[in-house]
Structure 1
Amino acid sequence: MSFNENISQDKPNLATEEYWNDTYNVELDNFKNFGDPGAEWFGHGIGVKMIKCIQSNCKISLEDPILDVGCGNALLLAQLAKLGFSNLYGIDYSAPAVKLANSIVKDQKIENITLKEFDFLTDDVKTLPTFSLVLDKGTYDVISMEDENKEKRTRYKENIIDLLQPNGMFLIVSCNWTQLELNEQFGDAFQVVHTIPTPSFQFGGAVGNTLSATLYQKL
């Protein structure tokens, strides 16, 4: 299933900062009132698989810097922190998302996560440090919406490259791009290190995956 075939009718909303601000304001209220940190994007299971992939396939130390692009509520970073990773960063262009993430991190008494309100396409990535590993769970999907001339995707890839240290790793999970499409878009600057198995489906004689999850290494 291609990207264009998989876009829902909610595409215009998902592509706006207003949508995410409204979403995270609701989740922030839920956290304040009920202690509910909200859901993990694509579910808890894929986060577990990402962490196992990092532990098995990334030659990084617990002190190496890791960035989550579009961190949302930062639950993935919190899980990494609990495993001993001590140099964690999360950025999101939604101010309520960052506020929620900070509230969760403070509540869980985690001190080794730095969170920042940051627009990955318009803010200057040179103001950020460089990283051994960059994570993306759904952010590239949102950036790809309403991007017919590919300008946003090009800027995104350039920024990922600039933020990664030599031989740095890039782990991306997408629901809108197939494995082949991701390889076509990132293959000129990255090599595939590992593909995370994800649930598959069959329709009309064709077999596909509900998610594409790939670990790349910067060339």
Structure 2
Amino acid sequence: MKLSPEESNQHLSAPLQQFQTGREVASDDDRSVAADSWSIKSDYGSTLDDEQRHADAAEALSSAVNFRPASDYSSDKDESDADAMTSMLGLQSYWDAAYLDELANFREHGHVGEIWFGTDVMGTVISWTKSLCIDVSQGHITNHVGEAKSQPVEQDDTYLSSWSVLDIGTGNGLLLQELSKQGFSDLTGTDYSEGAIDLARSLADRDGFSNIKFLVDDILETKLDRQFQLVMDKGTLDAIGLHPDGPIKRMMYWDSVSKLLARGGILVITSCNHTKDELVQEVENFNQRKIAIFQEPKTIKDQETQKGHAPLSYLNHVRTYPTFMFGGSVGSRVATVAFLRN
């Protein structure tokens, strides 16, 4: 069924706004409708041939962004604030339905499904991450005050072949395909939706990326028994935060991710529901919780030692996304931030 432009806009706007500021958990019928209608399609193919849909989605996403003070996104938010952030996009049942639809479209029409945040953002994330990893490999970045290049660099890709990469919430796995094209070779994608993994495997087999491994795994209760030098998250933390138990699940997320990151490894998070400062603040909250586990130091020497207990530190962020003023704050529709595992 092809929707008219008016109907398409009507179906797109509500789910996208709910992704940003969702107020209630949707029924199974609502999730089914959303799974059919909510997506940002790309040059890889679309279930609808209306190119205006991508522009409409981007506009709705932009208008729905609500930049809050970093403290509002701390993991210790009160219950009422957490309820306000609840959305159907935080439920596994939504994603199971969505990827069953995507898988059916792939098998029938060869469509790859949605590109999370669109191809422009994915391209920026890929080139920026590649440059960051090369700089780290060459020793150009040794601590959190280092500045990574945000533009692609012409370097031998042998620097990247040794990086082990994990993409959590991989969806259709196209991010890993793009990383493979850039020279990364040890690639693993996980998702808690079996339909997503089936789709990612099917696409990888079709496109000749048999080197990419895909596993059904929930990042909050991960069964992975290895660590990775690079962990990618494009929208997963956003979805976790929209679950009715979002504050608790976000705490579980940081605990799990920090254990999956090898020492000296990098976590790259791309979010449309958090600004760079909000993500940094959430990591600081996580660090404080971990430090509190240790006995309170009694001497200056102990205090210096205590600083080493912070698991994650801010490394860099993408500065090329367009910004705008909203509610007295300057922010971007999308933020990509890198953290270092100490």
Instruction: Answer whether TM exceeds 0.5 for this pair.
Output: yes
AA aligned to 1:7 is T
Q: Of the candidates 239, 247, 256, which is equivalent to residue 142 of structure 1?
A: 239
- Tell which structure's C-alpha radius of gyration is larger: 2
Which residue does 2:336 correspond to in 1?
Answer: 213
**Which structure has greater strand proportion?**
1
Deviations 1:14-51 (A, max 9, x none): 11111101111111111111111012111111111111
Q: Match for 2:191 among 78, 92, 96?
A: 92
Note closer, same or farther for the CA distance 1:165–1:203 as it changes in structure 2 (3 Å cut).
closer
Secondary structure of the residue aligned to 1:121 is: helix
Q: Is 1:115–2:214 an aligned residue pair?
A: yes
SS of the aligned residue for 2:108 comes to helix
> Which residue does 2:22 correspond to in 1?
8
Does the Cα contact within 8 Å between 1:147 and 1:153 map onto a contact in 2?
A: no
For residue 216 of structure 1, report the CA deviation from its aligned partner: 1.2
Aligned to 1:164: 261
Q: Does 1:102 align with 2:207?
A: no
In structure 2, distance between residues paired with 1:57 and 1:139: 21
Distance 2:104 2:217 in 1: 22
Question: Which residue of the partner structure matches residue 18 of structure 1?
Answer: 93
SS of the aligned residue for 1:56 comes to helix
The Cα of 1:147 is off from its aligned counterpart by 5.3
CA positional deviation for 1:193: 1.9
TM-score normalised according to structure 1 size? 0.90
In structure 1, distance between residues paired with 2:169 and 2:19: 24
Aligned CA-pair RMSD: 2.0
Q: Which moved more, 1:27-36 or 1:187-196?
A: 187-196
Please say if residues 22 and 87 of structure 2, whose CA atoms lie closer than 8 Å, have aligned partners that are also in contact.
no
Unaligned runs of 5+ in 1: none
Tell me the CA shift for residue 123 of structure 1: 3.5
Q: C-alpha offsets along residues 65-115 of structure 1, whole Å, 9 cap, x if unaligned?
A: 100010000000011112221100000000100000000000001121100
The 8 Å contact of residues 57 and 193 in structure 1, kept in 2 or not, is answered as no
Question: CA offset at residue 184 of structure 1?
Answer: 0.8
Change in Cα spacing, 1:158 to 1:21, as seen in structure 2 (3 Å) is same
| 1:48 aligned partner | 123
Whether the 8 Å contact between 1:167 and 1:217 is mirrored in structure 2 is yes
Go from structure 1 to structure 2 and tell me whether the alpha carbon gap of 1:65 and 1:99 turns closer, same or farther (over 3 Å shift). Answer: same
Aligned length: 214
Amino acid at match of 1:190: L
- List runs of 5+ in structure 2 lacking aligned partners: 1-17, 27-85, 138-159, 288-310
Residue identity matched to 2:110: G
Q: Counterpart in 2 of 1:81?
A: 180
> 8 Å contact 2:219–2:257 — kept in the other structure?
no
Report the CA distance shift for 1:5/1:122 in structure 2 as closer, same or farther (over 3 A). Answer: closer
- Is 1:132 aligned to 2:252, yes or no? no
Q: Secondary structure at the match of 1:128?
A: coil
Residue 195 of structure 2 corresponds to residue 195 of structure 1: no
